[in-house]
Every structure is written in C-alpha cells, then in structure tokens.
C-alpha cells in the first residue's frame, strides 16, 4: 500500500512542478525564446540565401515583424502580471535583460572582429536591440508604476 501512496505523491509533486514550469514559461518564456533565436542567428550563422533586393527586404521585414511580436507579447505579460508582490517584477526584469545582453555581447564581438556578421545579421542585431530596449526601459517602468499604484490602492482600500 505504501508503494501506491509514494507513486501518488510523486505524480502530484511532478504535476505541481509541471504546472509551475508552464506558468513560468507562459509569463516569462518570450524573452527566452527571443534570446535563443538571437543566438541562432548571430552565432550559428543563419544567413538567408537571397539573390535580389526584394528577397533581402522580405527577410528583413520578417525580422521586424518578429521583433514587434516580441514587444506585443511582453506588453501583454506586463499587463497580465500579478500585483501581489515585487518578485514577479524582478524576475521579469532579469529575464527581459537576456536578449539585450546577447545583442550587447554580439555587438562587442562584432566590433572586435571576433565574429564577422553579415549585413542581415547586423540588421537583426539592431532590430533586436530596439525591441529589447523598449521591453526593458518602457515596460519595466510601466510594470513598476503599476505595482506602485496597486500598493497605493490596497493601502487606500484597507486603511
């Protein structure tokens, strides 16, 4: 009988861990995916094989669209975040800094000549830097303002 109880206990604890992981990825997964895509493009040398200017512009426009999707998903994450504490905001800020760190490191590598980048990769780096800066600067400020207003609202309603 003890063995069956252990299996139930293990399955419920692994279920909780799975739910926590899914919740974490739903809230903070976008910067992790964006960071992975940047590493793939900037270091593993993904360069589209284009023969015309139109094809090149099409690839660059897709990079812009992906950067806008990233910004939109981050905006949604800020608006949907819980207002009960600052730990969520701290995690969001740290995770949001990852793409900016990758772009900064790639830029330093490129400027030193250690990682020669194509024009496409430089454009990816610039667009990713702009999207990351919007996320880190504007959305962090907005998130902290929302937390401050929530704390003031709670104090007003309870006091």
Q: pLDDT digits over 98-115, tens only? A: 999 999 999 999 999 988
Length of the chain: 159
Output 119 or 3, whichever has higher pLDDT.
119
Cα gap 96→87, rounded to integer Å: 14
Residue the block writes with tokens 């730990």: 87
Q: Give pLDDT, residue 103.
A: 94
Residue 21 within a domain: no
19 assigned to some structural domain = no
In a domain, 42, yes or no: yes
Domain that holds residue 137: 28-158
Number of domains making up the chain:
1
pLDDT, tens digit, 9 for 90 and up, residues 50-78: 788 788 888 888 888 998 998 888 888 77
pLDDT of residue 82: 64
Whether residue 65 lies inside any domain: the answer is yes
Residue 52: what pLDDT? 82
Kindly report, residue by residue over 119-159, the tens digit of the pLDDT: 888 888 999 999 999 988 887 777 777 666 665 555 566 65
**Residue 11 belongs to some domain of the structure:** no
Whether 142 is in a domain gets the answer: yes
Task: Give the pLDDT band (50/70/90) at residue 21.
Answer: confident
13 inside domain: no
Q: What pLDDT score does 107 carry?
A: 93
Residue 12: what pLDDT? 66
Question: In terms of C-beta density within 10 A (0-12 exposed, 13-18 middle, 19 or more buried), how is residue 35 classed?
Answer: buried
The helix/strand/coil state of 114 is coil
17: in domain:
no
Higher pLDDT, 8 or 54: 54
What local confidence, expressed as pLDDT, does residue 60 receive? 85
Task: Return mean pLDDT, the chain.
Answer: 79
Whether this prediction's pTM lies above 0.85 is answered by no
Rounded (5°) CA angle 33-38-42: 155
User: What pLDDT is recorded for position 93?
Assistant: 82
**77-to-25, 31, 147, 152, 157 alpha-carbon distances in Å:** 11, 11, 14, 22, 26
């Amino acid at each position: 009988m003890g063995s069956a109880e252990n299996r139930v206990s293990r399955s419920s604890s692994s279920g909780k861990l799975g739910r926590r992981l899914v919740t974490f990825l739903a809230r903070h997964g976008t910067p992790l995916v964006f960071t992975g895509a940047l590493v793939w493009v900037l270091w593993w040398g993904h360069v589209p094989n284009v023969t015309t200017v139109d094809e090149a512009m099409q690839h660059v426009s897709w990079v812009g669209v992906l950067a806008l999707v990233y910004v939109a998903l981050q905006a949604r994450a800020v608006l949907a975040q819980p207002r009960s504490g600052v730990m969520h905001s701290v995690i969001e800020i740290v995770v949001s800094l990852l793409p900016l760190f990758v772009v900064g490191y790639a830029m330093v590598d490129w400027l030193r000549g250690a990682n020669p980048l194509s024009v496409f990769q430089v454009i990816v780096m610039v667009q990713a830097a702009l999207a990351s800066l919007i996320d880190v600067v504007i959305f962090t400020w907005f998130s902290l303002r929302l937390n401050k207003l929530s704390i003031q609202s709670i104090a007003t309603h309870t006091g």
